[in-house]
Structure 1
Amino acid sequence: MRFRHPDGSTVHLAYCTNVHPAETLDGVRAQLRDHCEPVRRRLGRDRLGIGLWLARDAARTLINDPAELRALRSELDSRGLEVVTLNGFPYEGFGADEVKYRVYRPDWTEPDRLAHTTDLARLLAALLPDDATEGTISTLPLAWRTPYDGDPEAARTARSALTTLAQRLDALAEMTGKSIRVGLEPEPGCTVETTADAIPPLTDVGHDRIGICVDTCHLATSFEDPTTALDALTAAGIRIVKSQLSAALHAEDPHLPEVRTALAAFAEPRFLHQTRTSTAAGLRGTDDLDEAVAGRALPDSTPWRAHFHVPLHAPPAPPLTSTLSVLRDTLARLVGGPAPLTRHLEVETYTWQALPAELRPRTRTQLADGIAAELTLARDLLVDLGLKELP
């Protein structure tokens, strides 16, 4: 979906396909057929943007076979789909029964992360619509905090890898005329947990093609104020490459037994749901929701937020809610001003099948309806901010 900003630029809205993970190219094609095109049809659109997730094996197939890459581009066109952004955070196995800490490997100290991200940049340059010259990729925020934190050699290795990536992106732009940028995506528990954490390493890299991806669920989970966070990035000269529109789980009164019971329903074995609370002494947290619910690992006199991407249009029932207000405030700062701070927006709710059983979609039709409803909400927010939806 495309929108015209009042300054005349085009803002793209997509939804991320990691909600239907596939490890192979055949699986990606099935996503387009069984999920992405049906969502487009529900929205009544001739064209729909998708934030494609390409696992390592699918990406390597496309890199090694130019005919397959051309065929994928042709299939996107025939199904009314377009790609200006990729999700490069998960490397592989995102559809496994247990993902948890595995999603953070390989990290930016390991050669496979640089190689995979380089592949994704080359693929995105080939998949961009004919009238688009800019593409974006979100990626791991360097590494999970252990054993990375406190290891100066790890920091040097990651910085070197990102510098090499920037040089490769420059060369790709020279060769193709397509400008691809990569954004670190701060996430609770990682060495870059907050937008403030991102400023020093990105300043060290010091290249326009390496910036930040602002995920509004992660921003909210860490209790960051959107205006303060985005203004600090702008002041530091950090490019906001893209933003993922998502909402976290919020519990206002975690000391109440009924709230603990409601939260426990969202603790599940597949994904990590880092949980945070903001106290007078600073941010406190656990690596997963079940740790917070089970004992006294977190103070319960202040609200809790959990890294659980809940559907944008369907917040959980009381006594819980979502952080949709943080998304609204972030979006207003990103695209509500005289010029957009980013032109690539991506709805990313990958946890539909991790929701409590009674909230999960039971059919492809129900899932498509839910994704279409999320995109409709995002579209309405953009229109309310003065953007004009384009055909």
Structure 2
Amino acid sequence: MNTRYGQLTYCSNIHPGEYWSDHFIHLKNNLPLVRKIVSPDAPMGIGLRLSNEASLELIKPEMIIEFQTWLETEGFYVFLINGFPYGSFHERIVKENVYHPDWATNERLEYTLRLFSILSQLLPKGMDGGVSTPPLSYQFFDTNDVDRKRRTENATKQIVDVLIHLVEIQIKTGQTLHLDIEPEPDGILGNVNLWVQWFLKLLLPAAISKVQSKWGVTKEKAEGMTKTHIRLCLDVCHSAVSFEDNQNIIRLLKENSIQVGRIQISSALKVNFPNEPKETMDVLVGFDEPTYLHQVVVKSLDQKIQSYPDLPEAIQAGGKPFEEWRIHFHVPVFLNSYGLLASTQRELIEILNLQKEFQITNALEIETYTWGVLPKELQIPVVESIIREFQWVESILEIGKKSKD
């Protein structure tokens, strides 16, 4: 749906179904009910999650025509695709496997190019569209810096291949498509600062050389083409977990003219331990579920930072008085507390206010996908959950609208 501050949608990774036929059923059962409430008088955009298996089905001409017909009939359009999870994302143990295959592999490259082919066919005329993707790889796949550096270099070469493909699409069709690379704690690009360093020092030199060689353009033109098609995916849950300062993020991006392909509107779990942390820890244990990876970053009273690759390791280490934990657990954005626990909703509101001020991106994607693994008392029907997420985000955006009118 089109708002004053960008296209607002939600990511369909909330819905199960790794095969397109199964996922399509969930879209047909849920999306019209959501649109009826949040966008009854105008078409509604979709942030479409496609696994590799689903992309192999949907790329078939008869399947994509069927989907296009449904989109037009029901009043939907696709302008974003989530290409982070390649394989299963529900009902199985995902954990660090969400990074497999990573950007050092041909499988990741072929999958991503297929997603862009699908997006190019679905994208409404005059809109740009993006595919989100992992931060190259998971840093713990390698046990030493030499192997990690080699993996990063191989991944970067493949990202440049995607860039060339996207420029060719733009030349042929006029469409602007972009790869939205998503920093995540413990990824090789674990935060926005690391993402920017990689972009400037590794990607940009390689991309400029390849683009100039292929099209004979100036260095400035080649740099502009790279920045058009390779963008940051700003997941607010991830940046909050890493204790990143939102003002610094925007400053860093502006200083280096880096574009944001989308903001993923999300909240992390936040825990502040009191004098006696045991009761809080007992509540936190209820969030220790086996499906997803829940990285933990801890800030102590003296501002020192320590991280754990997953929640069980942090729980085993134990919470100390006055520590603050940020946990990679996509909790509902419309709630700021869960009894003794809290969320990073304040950090999310700050990003949304910066979006209103600077128009960081034209794509706002609600990305809460953990409904099924939340403690039972926090679970509500999925359609009701999605609608509440939309209404909360709209309430924050409307605050700015009223103050400026």
Do both proteins adopt the same fold according to a TM-score greater than 0.5, normalized to the shorter chain?
A: yes
1:133 counterpart letter in structure 2: M
Q: Which residue of 1 aligns with 2:248?
A: 228
Q: Is the 8 A contact 2:132 2:180 kept in 1?
A: yes
Q: Which residue of 2 aligns with 1:284?
A: 306
Is the deviation greater in 18-27 or in 273-282?
A: 273-282
How far did residue 334 of structure 1 move?
Answer: 2.5
How far did residue 385 of structure 1 move?
Answer: 2.3
Q: Which residue of 2 aligns with 1:200?
A: 197
Rate the CA distance shift 1:353–1:316 in 2: closer, same or farther, 3 A.
farther
Q: Which residue of 1 aligns with 2:343?
A: 322
Q: Is the 8 A contact 1:335 1:342 kept in 2?
A: no
Q: Which residue of 2 aligns with 1:166?
A: 163
Q: Is the 8 A contact 1:246 1:312 kept in 2?
A: yes
Whichever structure has more helix as a proportion of its residues is: 2
Please point out which of 281, 290, 306 is paired with 1:260. 281
Please point out which of 317, 320, 330 is paired with 1:295. 317
How far did residue 44 of structure 1 move?
Answer: 5.0
Q: Is the 8 A contact 2:273 2:320 kept in 1?
A: no
Q: Which residue of 2 aligns with 1:116?
A: 111
Asked if 1:4 corresponds to 2:18, the answer is: no
Q: Is the 8 A contact 1:42 1:369 kept in 2?
A: no
Tell me the TM-score normalised to structure 1 length: 0.91
Q: Is the 8 A contact 1:16 1:87 kept in 2?
A: yes
Q: Is the 8 A contact 1:277 1:299 kept in 2?
A: no
Q: Which residue of 2 aligns with 1:97?
A: 92
How far did residue 133 of structure 1 move?
Answer: 2.6
1:271 is paired with a residue whose SS is coil
- Taking the aligned partners of 1:256 and 1:104, their CA distance within structure 2 comes to 33
- Taking the aligned partners of 2:374 and 2:74, their CA distance within structure 1 comes to 29
- Taking the aligned partners of 1:87 and 1:307, their CA distance within structure 2 comes to 18
Equivalence map 1:180-195=2 (5 Å): 180-195=177-192
1:329 is paired with a residue whose SS is helix
Q: Is the 8 A contact 1:138 1:184 kept in 2?
A: yes
Equivalence map 1:331-350=2 (5 Å): 331-337=352-358, 340-350=359-369
Q: Which runs of 4+ in 1 moved over 3 A?
A: 279-282, 298-301
How far did residue 299 of structure 1 move?
Answer: 5.5
2:311 counterpart letter in structure 1: L
Is the deviation greater in 249-258 or in 235-244?
A: 249-258
- Taking the aligned partners of 1:355 and 1:82, their CA distance within structure 2 comes to 30
- Taking the aligned partners of 2:45 and 2:345, their CA distance within structure 1 comes to 22
How far did residue 372 of structure 1 move?
Answer: 0.4
- Taking the aligned partners of 1:26 and 1:87, their CA distance within structure 2 comes to 17
Q: Which residue of 2 aligns with 1:218?
A: 238
How far did residue 300 of structure 1 move?
Answer: 5.2
2:105 counterpart letter in structure 1: E
Q: Which residue of 1 aligns with 2:216?
A: none
- Taking the aligned partners of 2:11 and 2:162, their CA distance within structure 1 comes to 23
Q: Which residue of 2 aligns with 1:8?
A: none
Asked if 1:62 corresponds to 2:58, the answer is: yes
Higher Rg: 2
- Taking the aligned partners of 2:155 and 2:378, their CA distance within structure 1 comes to 40
Question: Larger relative CO (CA 8 A, sep 6+): 1 or 2?
Answer: 1
Tell me the TM-score normalised to structure 2 length: 0.88
Asked if 1:178 corresponds to 2:178, the answer is: no
1:265 is paired with a residue whose SS is helix
Q: What whole-Å deviation, never above 9, does each CA across 1:256-291 have from its counterpart, x for those lacking one?
A: 111101111111011111111124464311111122
- Taking the aligned partners of 1:315 and 1:369, their CA distance within structure 2 comes to 18
1:381 counterpart letter in structure 2: I
Q: Is the 8 A contact 2:80 2:130 kept in 1?
A: yes
- Taking the aligned partners of 2:89 and 2:356, their CA distance within structure 1 comes to 31
Asked if 1:80 corresponds to 2:75, the answer is: yes
Asked if 1:138 corresponds to 2:132, the answer is: yes
- Taking the aligned partners of 2:374 and 2:101, their CA distance within structure 1 comes to 27
1:19 counterpart letter in structure 2: I
Q: Is the 8 A contact 1:143 1:190 kept in 2?
A: yes
- Give the alignment's Cα RMSD to 1 decimal: 1.8
2:396 counterpart letter in structure 1: L
Asked if 1:370 corresponds to 2:388, the answer is: no
Q: How many residues align?
A: 374
Q: What whole-Å deviation, never above 9, does each CA across 1:330-360 have from its counterpart, x for those lacking one?
A: 12222323xx111001000000001002222
Q: Which residue of 1 aligns with 2:45?
A: 49
Rate the CA distance shift 1:14–1:61 in 2: closer, same or farther, 3 A.
same
Is the deviation greater in 114-123 or in 275-284?
A: 275-284
1:386 is paired with a residue whose SS is helix
How far did residue 387 of structure 1 move?
Answer: 8.7
Asked if 1:381 corresponds to 2:405, the answer is: no
1:138 counterpart letter in structure 2: S
How far did residue 294 of structure 1 move?
Answer: 2.4
Unaligned 5+ runs, structure 1 = 6-10
Q: What whole-Å deviation, never above 9, does each CA across 1:30-84 have from its counterpart, x for those lacking one?
A: 1221111111123252422221001111111222x22221221111122222211
Unaligned 5+ runs, structure 2 = 205-225
How far did residue 193 of structure 1 move?
Answer: 1.0
1:192 is paired with a residue whose SS is coil
Q: Is the 8 A contact 2:372 2:379 kept in 1?
A: yes
How far did residue 295 of structure 1 move?
Answer: 2.5
- Taking the aligned partners of 1:283 and 1:141, their CA distance within structure 2 comes to 21
Equivalence map 1:9-28=2 (5 Å): 11-28=6-23
Is the deviation greater in 320-329 or in 280-289?
A: 280-289
